Structure 1
């Protein structure tokens, strides 16, 4: 009857719902009648089984692709649906799929101990296997974390054997856009804690992996389940998506091994090393910059897991690769499974492969990925979320959360920065404050503590090899045994002449652990003098320095490899030259007196040498002074285990020993060592090692900044340059070329009593202020003409210099055992003690200190005292000037200040106007008398200007590339007639030269 409900239809729905529901309960899902695509397991190893799909087809003329699943997803992800599955679609495009099946680790022997490295190395072996079978390069593809594996393997292999890499929703710049829009500043500390304290004990079962994926978009998960229940009566409507539903809800998930998860979090979340470089695979340092084959990255426009901004990081991480993308209106799972994947993703992959093989045109959906970062937030737009309806509520919550975070970002960042720096620096500074003369503290002890705290963390990166704290500590102990076998005892002064390589750093630490004194020497002509000053009768040298060491010293211990190793072994006679590599540490019987790391704060630990005006000065460093420098520099630089410090300075320079080795040990950072120094190697190794901090000394960076091929974009991981002796011009150049990086310039007096640092990097050229917990300093009024401090006539105490007044820097001698130089008492008040180092400074109105030069470098001209450092800094700021040095010629009272400069590549000369403008901030009487252009300026091993060698040339001869200063401070051409007319003993005499003999500015 009309208007009555269709009882039969209702009953039918109920019955169908009951029948289908019972089948789901009993069988886990509906029987779709589909069969898996045929494949054959062609190789079985402990780590994987390799599937070759369509095994009956020889694949003549077909291309080949190896597909990698994520760790937590079954390999069947590439064959979920019969028609739209990856393997079927690719086969229709004349591509043979090979799929790596890692199995379920909880059911595999040793599966729960698998590491991330195990997966990458296994994939690399698969590539070799498939290539050997098919006789050609192959394509490599991966979904989600499987795509990360693909990138890492391509980098590990340096793209060898790969025709291209294809990834699907695979993040590279992980911290740029974390899943669900979580803020990095909250995730990173948690990820580090979990990696170090949870996943070293636990693993993730498959049910938890599935739950985590579903919770990533709870609204979509709930909606899918409700839709399934509402349509449970309509079998025909459910069957097309049933295979996909069963895969997501039940069958598609496998367990994660704890070590692999921990390594993933530590390397690629905490340190974000797919972007910065320097991740470690099988003991080798790897960088994404090694990828040179073409890359195609699929981007899910509503993907909240592999967010677009993170996925597009590949274009910056792999600058030498041609990177393309295909954007799809789907979420994370929809990139590889479902109707959209069957319609867009996999046909595009097939077309891409044929294009790369030279068998077709570039696919319409494939476009070059822009290197300009133009997304905001995660890269997922609101229009995409609303248009495609994926994760709308979850997305809204994420976006609102991000807006709230951004609204309070200023307060949050400030608070977090203060908290983070406090956590890093306060314990270090507190430890410094507790050091007493009897406190046990030394480099060797610091290395032991780090090995116990983080035994498996990386410490040294060298020639693509990696050494952990445990490995280094073991090597230190072995070298200690060798030193003991060679008769070295605590307190003995042992010379060290070695290149900055792991064996050198290990030897320094071994001498510290033994309690001997490491005398760090250069191979300069002053080596015999250094040996005498340091009371040293034995040298430890590497093969490179063997000849120089043997010529200067009667006993040389050779340690380490490198060039000349074979010759060193041949020359070893057991007495004059001893090859320590031939000593078996297991056979050395340690004496009863040996106690590891016996050094006390008051004990002498190191001896360095500085050269001023051609004179060698000895710098004795106690363990306390080393600790002050190491912990103070680590605190100032904010070093942590997330940093990789690139060590450029030689160990015999304070920047090498204290700023690099000492500070990185105190900060538990990684140390990257180079086999040489040139612009090409510098850029390449910075990218490969993921360097965040570059350690320099003096003019090391001049050639890099002057190199026409220097690309600042390759140094995106560098946040800090730290060292000493950087000119104002080079400092300015760094800030212009790398605005995201800052400079931390240190200064230490020749006796090491004062340690200054320009921490905030706002005043270029300033030495800043004393590091916290180091000796306080003051500037005593000083008369350079008499060479004496000025005394207050009323009190008899030394007068303190006022703002901008040049005076002598003195440091408070609080620890009586520390004094290495001249110590004066009753200086500014009764009973005080101040150490005098011989450095002249001025303080500006804010209290920041500016170095003017040493007492010996003051130029005593007819017009008064002149200071070389301000002249050098001013000249270095002229854009066309590469290096600048200042020296004096003549007798005291009538000395001539001569400035010599070299020019940048492509520049042939300067104009008088450039010189005058460059020196414009200096008073006329403080400008050099002569300025001349030289072809080169000699540099020491530490890249310091060797002004003594320049001064030996004497007064420069008149010529077209030399100018003199007239009485008004202007510069004119220095001709023969001008030189004859000038009397340098008379102030202002240069102004009497005939105008006709000079070109005025």
Structure 2
């Protein structure tokens, strides 16, 4: 058989082989194929330590052109914007009559101090570049960024409050890290890894360009392998490879840059661990920033198959920037394909071009750009189908096996288990530590502050008036104040009154007294100081400049702290005043007796004073009691470093001292101090500080709700409100307005170790159950008339049945002083219990409901009437603003009376009262309900019963109603009936 070979059949493969060898040799020698495609022309307009500012096509001087500033991510070269030359970003935008500028951070490997750059350096660099472009062009800029470059665009615009920025355009830039971690990994797991890396690796190991390139390729190995196989398969066809050669070389090596360790540490801490782009409160050079500062239009490009900038994470911007109009454009592309390649050339950049023209008032908004919604109804089905098609095509081209089929299921399961495990892991050490506290254990506010400073000296401790203070700075300030206190003669156990508004110096003064081992007597500004200092045996006072005159008027020596050295002090004549700010701590010699943080659990740490006149109430708080509440709050609220606790409650109130300050310090959370209750400022600071937890007392939140500072549906970062005394109606209003945030209501006895918490929040109004690690509680039968405990046949206290009203008591630890009203032999010989001042009932589920204080029960002819259920029921009426209940003497008997005020714009009818109070048993309903114009509140926002009583008795008329037991309704009180009732 004769086989014939044609010249064509032999030469074709030979030519292909020769072309492959020639092109391969060129790639080996020069790293790629020589191409005629040239970079777009640009000039460097500005050179600074952190960046170079490029101006592309500088010879084009067409006046009035829109201006864009393009920002790359840290690990990608600025050539990103020109990688496809005429079909890339600057090429397409310039052809459309747009003036293009690019921020070039350079490589940290060659820039001076490059490896020491942090996140703030880059944000400030973009900020400076915008200023320069604004000045040169005389126009605002459209700020655009890819991946982390888009994050820089958001952050910079927020930092400068939008000045000089016309719009923002981002490409695959995540905002809500929790909603969408790269590759669907669980946030809890990634957060733990990030904490380890930032604390132990990145401060020692630089992230080089080769590490970045390998890491990026490892995120999508299928695509990387496919690209390399395609390149090898077409190595013989130079014409087919040349159009993609620049992009290939960019991805294979030229486009990748090293990542400075400090910048990556900031990224992991602020945005991965704490999600502060979403919540607010990220920090740029000691200044807290929130995306709520952004008010210009935003266009976010979403890659439907982007596993790095997950769609859910990118769409977080619509919630994080509540004051901006946010739009999106959805593109079927991966992370890099959003800005480079055929999809970007044909879809992304034409849409950007049209967006810029529309934003400048020219043209219409393209149909493919639509207002963004956070939750896209069809995302799941459409995204799954799109990913299946995309994955199938990828697998077919590359010939690889399936890799992520079970990712969604496994990721969701792992996410849930990791987060639950993390919560338990945070709670267990706190509960264990509580259980280990003995009377001699050294524990105090001062010691916990020092502990936090040792763990993370540069972590943020607290925020106040747009400044962030680190643990190291706060700890140093505390030590300096301690030296000042020692220099004026303060010693351990000295009782020092603190009369200060909520401010950093008040926080520092309280912590300094704790560190010294002295006792801080917390006094409310504006209270009757002279009587309070006598009752508490206070030896001297610390005041801020605002309260100086009131403090001096007590006749005690007064130390002035806060306000800086330059403020003018209004010192009354003859006052014994020491300006603490003028004491040089370096010149104070510490005495031999001084040991920092000497306070032991059994020792007195704080004294709280509430009430006025003949109703002063003095409470003594040991270090153990403070620690109990601090760790209990941190456990019940699951506080950790990711939280920022907004301290609305004043520090002189138990909620401020024990819950706000204590819980935040024990949980390692940031503390945001509010100088006063200002609804407008509250709304601003919640966003700017990234507040996740708000503390309150009594009716504080009523002012915020009434001011409509957060309209319904307005996005916010708050997850929890914690405090005590919130009425049921206000509780429901708060949950409705701030959904999905919850209310965590506490009850804590000041003396003794009883702490209850309604952790689930399901039973509005309930005080919940005992917090783990706190005292065991019991409810014992109690006669409120005789004020005696009721006993059983054996002579021990009788335990209450379900829903029976009784006295709440808690086991007394060794640190509790039983001489202050303690009980022994309650259920067994020699047992020790501390009674609270309150009466409760316990429902069949084991939840406790407050009924009254022992001294405010109304003793009517029909038996005891409890005030707390009355005010709770009345507060739950929509029209009711505030209310109080009290006993009114009328002849030889006492009437149960309730007074209420009405919310602006609402009406209240007798039938509303009748219907609401049917929730109570007839014998527990008030005899009279009447309307007053206003109910004054105390400094802690508690409605004042005494003020209502002082205003006079209820008068007959259309705003006063009496309970007609025959008709079971409330009716208008006439003059004749009033005369009989009050006789």
For normalisation by structure 2, the TM-score amounts to 0.95
- Paired position in structure 2 for 1:992: none
Q: Deviations over 1:109-132 (max 9, x none)?
A: 211111111100111011111111
Which residue of the other structure, out of 396, 403, 407, is the alignment partner of 1:401? 407
1:616-639 Cα offsets, whole Å, 9 max, x none, are 111011111111111111111111
Mapping for residues 9-24 of structure 1, pairs under 5 Å: 9-24=12-27
Q: What whole-Å deviation, never above 9, does each CA across 1:41-82 have from its counterpart, x for those lacking one?
A: 121111111111122333422222111111000011111122
1:641/1:669 contact within 8 Å kept = yes
**Structure 2 CA distance for partners of 1:919 and 1:803, relative to 1, 3 Å:** same
Deviates more, 1:942-951 or 1:509-518: 942-951
- Show CA shifts across 1:231-263 (max 9, x none): 111111111111111111121001001111111
Question: Using a 3 Å threshold, how does the CA distance of structure 1 residues 95 and 385 change in structure 2: closer, same or farther?
Answer: farther
> Counterpart in 1 of 2:937?
939
- CA, structure 1 residues 379+876, in 2 after alignment: closer, same or farther (shift >3 Å)? farther
Structure 2: distance between partners of 1:703 and 1:485: 43
Q: Does the C-alpha gap of structure 1 residues 154 and 983 become closer, same or farther in structure 2, counting only changes over 3 Å?
A: closer
The secondary structure found in structure 1 opposite 2:205 is coil
2:725 matched to which residue of 1?
725
Offset of 1:327 from its aligned partner?
Answer: 2.1
Matches within 5 A, 1:423-502: 423-502=425-504
SS in 1 for 2:735: helix
Query: Secondary structure of 2:54's partner?
Result: strand
The Cα shift of 1:595 comes to: 1.4
- Where structure 2 has 5 or more consecutive residues not aligned to the other structure, the ranges are none
Corresponding residue of 1:755 = 755
Q: Which of the residues 72, 76, 79 maps onto 1:73?
A: 76
Distance 2:360 2:867 in 1: 64
Aligned to 1:848: 847
Deviation per CA, 1:701-754, whole angstroms, max 9, x where unpaired? 112233445325345422111111111111222333334222211112353442
* Corresponding residue of 2:197: 194
Query: Contact 2:752–2:816 at 8 Å: present in 1 too?
Result: no
Deviations 1:885-932 (A, max 9, x none): 11121179711111111222311x312221122111211111111111
Among 259, 263, 282, the alignment partner of 2:262 is 259
- Asked if structure 1 preserves the Cα contact closer than 8 Å seen for 2:544 and 2:560, the reply is yes
1:380 alignment partner, SS class: helix
Q: Which residue of 1 aligns with 2:135?
A: 132
- The secondary structure found in structure 2 opposite 1:941 is coil
Q: Which residue of 2 aligns with 1:819?
A: 818
Q: Which residue does 1:696 correspond to in 2?
A: 696
Matched, 1:345 2:348: yes
Deviation at 1:375, TM superposition (A): 5.4
Alignment of 1:351-750 (within 5 A): 351-374=354-377, 376=379, 380-383=383-386, 385-386=388-389, 391=394, 397-406=403-412, 408=413, 413=416, 415-561=417-563, 568-571=568-571, 576-611=576-611, 615-708=615-708, 710-714=710-714, 716-750=716-750
Give the SS at the match of 2:513.
helix
| Structure 1: gaps of 5 or more residues | 985-1001
1:958 matched residue in structure 2 = 956
Cα deviation, 1:827-857, whole Å, max 9, x if unaligned, reads 2221112223332122222232221111110
Asked if the contact 2:728–2:873 (Cα under 8 Å) also holds between the matched residues in 1, the reply is: yes
Matched residues in 2 for 1:882 and 1:461: separation?
A: 32
The offset of 1:791, in angstroms, is 2.6
2:888 aligned with 1:889:
yes
How far 1:395 moved relative to its partner?
A: 11
Residues 613 and 856 in structure 1, CA contact (< 8 A), matched pair in contact too: no
**Residue pairs, 1:192-271, within 5 angstroms:** 192-271=195-274
Asked if residue 800 in structure 1 is aligned to residue 799 in structure 2, the reply is yes
8 Å contact kept, 2:172–2:303 = yes
Find the aligned partners of 2:823 and 2:343 in 1 and give their Cα distance.
82
Match of 1:561, SS state, is: coil
The answer (yes or no) to whether the contact 2:445–2:515 under 8 Å persists in 1 is yes
Write the distance in 2 (CA, Å) between the matches of 1:848 and 1:607.
Answer: 30
| Deviation by residue 1:525-551 (Cα, 9 ceiling, x = unmatched) | 432221111111321111222232222
Match of 1:994 in 2: none
Counterpart secondary structure, 1:103: coil
**Partner of 2:315 in structure 1?**
312
Contact 2:46 2:52 in 1 (8 A): yes
Aligned counterparts of 1:317 and 1:402: Cα–Cα separation in 2:
25
Deviation string, structure 1 residues 602-650 (Cα, Å, up to 9, x no partner): 1111000233996111101111111111111111111111111110001
**How far 1:371 sits from its partner (Å)?**
4.8
CA contact (8 A) 1:498 1:545 kept: yes
Please tell me whether the aligned partners of residues 777 and 810 of structure 1 are also in contact (alpha carbons under 8 angstroms). Answer: yes
Matched, 1:144 2:142: no
1:58 aligns with 2:66: no
Q: Given the alignment of the two structures, is residue 832 of structure 1 paired with residue 844 of structure 2, yes or no?
A: no
In the TM superposition, what is the alpha-carbon distance from 1:328 to its structure 2 partner?
2.3
- Report the Cα offset of residue 181 of structure 1: 2.0
Q: Give the whole-Å Cα distance in 2 for the aligned partners of 1:570 and 1:353.
A: 57
Cα contact 2:184–2:411 (8 A) shared by 1? no
Deviations 1:294-352 (A, max 9, x none): 11112222222212222122111111112222222322112211232222222322232
Equivalent of 2:336 in 324, 333, 336: 333
Q: CA–CA distance in 2 between the matches of 1:885 and 1:843? A: 23
Kindly provide the CA deviation profile for residues 659-705 of structure 1, in whole angstroms up to 9, marking residues without a partner as x: 01111100000011123313322222112211111111111011223
Relative to structure 1, the CA distance from residue 885 to residue 3 in structure 2 (aligned partners, 3 Å threshold; closer, same or farther) is farther
**1:600: Cα distance to partner?**
1.1
CA distance in 2, matches of 1:772, 1:404: 33
Task: Report the 3-state secondary structure (helix = DSSP H, G, I; strand = E; otherwise coil) of the residue aligned with 2:699.
Answer: coil
Compute the RMSD of aligned alpha carbons: 2.3
| In 2: Cα distance, 1:982 partner to 1:250 partner | 93
Q: 1:340 to 1:755 in 2, by over 3 A?
A: closer
Task: Please report how far the alpha carbon of residue 165 of structure 1 lies from its aligned counterpart in structure 2 after TM superposition.
Answer: 1.1
Q: Which runs of 4+ in 1 moved over 6 A?
A: 393-396
Query: Are the equivalent residues in 1 in contact too, given 2:90–2:100 (CA < 8 A)?
Result: yes
**Kept in 1: contact 2:549–2:571 (CA 8 A):** no
2:122 to 104, 119, 122: 119
In 1: Cα distance, 2:662 partner to 2:750 partner: 18
* SS at structure 2 position matched to 1:341: helix
Q: Alignment partner of 1:702: what SS?
A: helix
Which whole-Å CA distance do the structure 2 matches of 1:754 and 1:893 have between them? Answer: 38
* Aligned equivalents of 1:147, 1:944: Cα separation in 2: 47
Moved more, 804-813 or 610-619: 610-619
Deviation of the 1:500 alpha carbon: 1.7
Does the 8 A contact of 2:292 with 2:320 survive in 1? yes
3-state SS of paired residue (1:847): coil
State how far apart, in whole Å, the 2-side matches of 1:743 and 1:342 are.
Answer: 50
SS for the counterpart of 1:253 is coil
Q: Quick check: 594-603 or 330-339, which moved more?
A: 330-339
Aligned equivalents of 2:403, 2:540: Cα separation in 1: 69
Change in 2 beyond 3 A, CA 1:116/1:532: same
> In structure 2, do the counterparts of structure 1 residues 709 and 622 end up closer, same or farther at CA, with 3 Å as the change threshold?
closer
Mapped to 2, the partners of 1:79 and 1:452 lie a distance apart of 48
Deviation by residue 1:924-961 (Cα, 9 ceiling, x = unmatched):
11111111111211111110111112122342111211
Report the secondary structure of 2:473's partner residue: helix
Per the alignment, residue 914 of structure 1 pairs with 912
